[in-house]
Structure 1
Amino acid sequence: MAFEGLADRLQSTIKKITGKGKVSEQDVKEMTREVRLALLEADVNFKVVKDLIARIKERAVGQEVMESLTPGQQVIKVVKEELTSLMGGEQSKIAVADRTPTVIMMVGLQGAGKTTTSGKLANLLRKKHNRKPLLVACDIYRPAAIKQLETLGEQLEMPVFSMGTEANPVDIASKAIEKAKEEHHDYVIIDTAGRLHVDTDLMEELQHIKTAVKPDEIFLVVDSMTGQDAVNVAESFNEQLDITGVVLTKLDGDTRGGAALSIKAVTDKPIKFAGMGEKLDQLEAFHPERMASRILGMGDVLSLIEKAQTNVDEKQVKELEEKMRTMSFTFDDFLEQMGQVKKMGPLDDLMAMIPGASKMKGLKNAQLDDKQLSHVEAIIQSMTKKERHDPSIINGSRRKRIAKGSGTSVAQVNRLIKQFSEMKKMMKQMSSMQKGKKGKGNMKFPFM
Structure 2
Amino acid sequence: MKDLNQKASASPIGRGDAYPSPAYGWYVTVVLLLGFTFSFVDRQVLNLLVEPIRKDLEISDTQISFLQGFAFAITYVLASIPIGRMVDRFNRVRIMIWGVLVWSATTIACGLSRNYTHLLVARMGVGAGEAALSPAAWSVLADYFHPDRLSRPISVYLMGPYIGAGIAMIAGAEVLDFTREMTSITVPILGDLAPWQFTFIAVGLPGVLIAALIATVREPVRMRRRDAQVTVPPWREVWAYMRSNRRVYTALHLGVPFIVVMLYGLQSWTPTILVRVYEWDLADAGRIYGLIALVAGSLGVLSGPFVARFLERRGRNDPALLVAITGAAMATGFLASIPLQPSATGALVCIAGASFSVTLPLALITSAMQRVTPNEMRGVVNGAYVVTTNVIGLALGPTLVAACTDYVFGDPNAVARSLGLVSMFMGPIAMLLLWSGASAMRRKFADS
Give the TM-score normalised by the residue count of structure 1. 0.23
Structure 1 or 2: more helix by fraction: 2
Higher strand share: 1
* Higher RCO (Cα < 8 Å, 6 or more apart): 2
